[in-house]
Structure 1
Amino acid sequence: MQPQETFGRGGLNGFLDVDDLVDRIGLDEDEIAWRKEFIGFDEEDEQRLSSLEPMVQDNAEAIADDFYENVLHYEQTRAIVDRSPKDVDALKRTQQAYLVSLASGEYDREFFKNRARIGKLHEILDMPLKQYVGQYGVYYDLILSRLNDRVQQQVIDAVEEWAAEREADDGGLGRVVGALGLGGGTEEADDGLEDSFETAVREAIDDGMMDVLSLLRIINLDMQVATDTYVDSYAQRLEESIERRKRLAQEVENDVQGPIAELHESSEVVAKRAEAISEHTESQATGITRAASELNDVSAAVQEVASVADEVSEESDRTERLAAEGVDAADDALDELEAIENATDRVADAADALAERTDEIDEIVDRLDDLAERTTVLAANAKIESTRSDADGGETMGVIASEVRSFAEQTKSDLAEIEATVEAVREDAAATVETTEETVARVDAGTNRVRETVDSLEEIHESARETASGMEDMAAAADQQARGVEVTAQTLDDLSESADTVASAAESAAAASQQQTASLREVRESVARLTEDGTDETVPVYEQLD
């Protein structure tokens, strides 16, 4: 299939109504004729383009390869190629067909209709206008470089033709060399190039440049139509956007009518409340001022409390010292009581030992008493025996009996005294023991009371210490409270000023709320104007272009 046969058969054509497109951009016969006349495109240009068709045919494949090599080199243009339903080879064949069509068309409405279709397809692929127009610069480089070779060859052919004619006319190569200004000693050499030679060269160059101009003119017409398709798309988008904005404006008007009315009412309520806030704020400022005055009095009282707390703290310190001294004295008394208790224990032990000794004495007295009894019996027996004995012996025994009786009586008398004394000692010992036991009991009770006193004094001491510590804390807290009250008083002064400011601001808010009510009324009127028929809100098309 030839390239021309693939041109215009892309998969995107099903999404495009070309007839509707050319109608929208106004591309009719008269418009096409005017555009051709405006840039000077005529039948001569058509003939020149037709003469270029062989050259374009021969170079179409190479130009298409070089063109897509440049396109695929850049990420932005490569992304457009990736979105095309055709692969790169198919795109190259389409490009070849496009190039050939530039030099083989009828350049009528159908030709430009095809141009419009091509431009629209690029726009459908979201190719920015800067890229579409920019690719014509690539065409200039690729096509004109080959056209330059053609022009140079035309100049060479013209020179060769002129030389052949001169040689046939003048019959010598020297005349040709002289006409070129390369000989010497001739008048023609002195005058430079021969006029006919220069004319031939200029005509050849001019003919080549006219070919270039014809190609640029048809590309310019092509570019105009392609640009129209982009502008048409932007205009459609703009119209759609305007229509959407109109619909949106209508919706906004419908949606905001109720809220604006509510805002209008609420603004009036806010204004009234702002006035009430202003009144309350003034009352608050007065109350704060009064509270500040009372806090100043409280601050003075707190300072007095702090002073009393300092004095109480000093007295608590003295109480703590006295309690500590009482604890020390109680400890000393407790030590003395313990010593007394020990001594009392020793007295009790001595009384017990004395009682034991008294018991031993009683035993001895009993034995002596028994001895006295036996002595008495012995004396009685001796007396009896003395009466039985002779006169001298009986007298002696009588004396002995008398002495023994006297001894026994005296012994009994002494034993009676000893027994009485022992009994007295026993009674005294019993009284001593009883007194000692009573003393021990009292000492124990006193010791317990002293211990309780010591414990109480220790508690008093600890309590006094805690009281002193608490008083220090209270004094510190009182100082801090005094500072806090001073700060609070200052804060209340600031609040009073702030309340005055708030009152002023509330008055301003009331005024602003009233202004807001008026502004909301204007907003409602402005929203209503969004849907009026006289709206002529347009956006310049060039602002929509990339």
Structure 2
Amino acid sequence: MANMPHSHMQAASEPSLDLDHIEQMKRFVGFTEKDASILKKLRPVAAKHATAVVNTFYTRLSGFAHLEKIIGGAGSSVERLKRTQEEYLVQLFDGEYGRDYFVRRWRIGQIHNKIGLEPDWYLGGYSLYRQLLLPILLDVFDNKPKKVQRAMAAIDKILTLDSELAIGSYIDAVMASLRDINVSKTEIEKKVADYGHFIDLVADGDLTPRLAIEGDDGLAQLGNNLNVMTERLAEMARSINSASNAMRHTLSSVHKAVADQSSGAAQQAAAVNETTSTLVEIRTTSSQTLEKASELGKSAERTREVGDRGLDMVEENIAGMQSIRNRVEGIAASILALSKQTQQIGEITGVVAGLAQHSKMLALNASIEAAKAGDSGKGFAVVAAEVKDLAEQSEESTAQVQKILTEIQHATDRAVMATEEGVKDVDQGVILMSRTGEVVRDLKDVIHQSVLSSQQIVAAVRQEAVGIDQVSMAMNEINSVTGQFVEATQKTSVASEDLNHLAITLQDMVARFRI
């Protein structure tokens, strides 16, 4: 083990620390350039929180009256001491830990001795700083236990170096003050030798021995202080060992919990992947359903249009049938009028036929009378013969006209009957077309409802597709988060392993001390 600094100090003021000895001290506590780099990176954090940490530090001190008395007797204000403490705290994270740093820390021990602050109190101050810095680091390195572990290890090492320097400085100052004590040189040398041997044992890691104190002089007070210092170091070592054991136990539980979480997360990820695949299939089916529903909607719309056109055509047919009925009724009326006129013509023809018959009889009588008259009646006989001929022709013509009129009458009767049947057929057609119109209207209503239903189906399928897309997006996000969680648990597992190694390292360091 490296010698404590007091064996290399001058009793006056300037320490004679050489670089080799500084490196030995660093090597003993395991302080490396990596630790220095970690502390330097934390300097902005320390500067940011220095005031709050120091305020809490002095709030703790205010609970101890004798410490306030020491501060008051130091000839400085609390605010000035706070600023000095803030500078001291930030300097812990300077990143440069050469001879200048060690000399500054050495002088702090001299100041503590000068104002009467005993080692057991400022050793407790180092522990208090550690307690105050830990929550800050946990907040800065949230969910990154490995970084917290490295940072706290670096802080523990630099605080250990600071405490060694402060204690060495205190011891050196006390040793220097022994020269002024009015005791014999032999007794001083003996006590100094005893104290030196005791200090060497402590420096070698043996914290079990204690000095036998006699009297109440300065040497006795020094011995008491050394005993208290050693006891505090032993308590610190025991606390570190206990904390390391607790850390290892906790890390074992954490590691098991992380393993369980990782397994559960992996199962969840598999389930999410399977669900996502199922959603993709459902989305494909939904798309096909939407396509079919859209086609159904279009077909229903076309059917509705055809139904509308069919209803229009039925109504047009009904109107056309009504028009035909009206025309047929008009034709029937015309035929009836024609039949009446034909009858009148027949009557007139009968009169003409009677006149022709009468003229024929008159002509016959005239011929007879002309024959009786002889030659004087020849001219009259000729006229009578011509009248007879004309009468016969008229009779024949009227007979023909009568025949034609009879045929016309028969045809008219048939036409009237036909038009009456036509009117009946048209009426029946109107009734049938009206019924057809009602059926088409009902069909139109049904088709309209089908169109509305198909539109609702299309809307529902679209909404379902949107819902499936949203669920799919949510499952993708869950899948992503689950993947991140799995990755985080793996990192946490690695970090817990690293912390476990750190706990083992701390236990190994504490094992160097016999307590």
TM-score band, normalised by the shorter chain? 0.3 to 0.5
Q: If the length of structure 1 is used for normalisation, what is the TM-score?
A: 0.33
Largest Rg, 1 or 2: 1
Q: TM-score scaled to structure 2, two decimals? A: 0.35
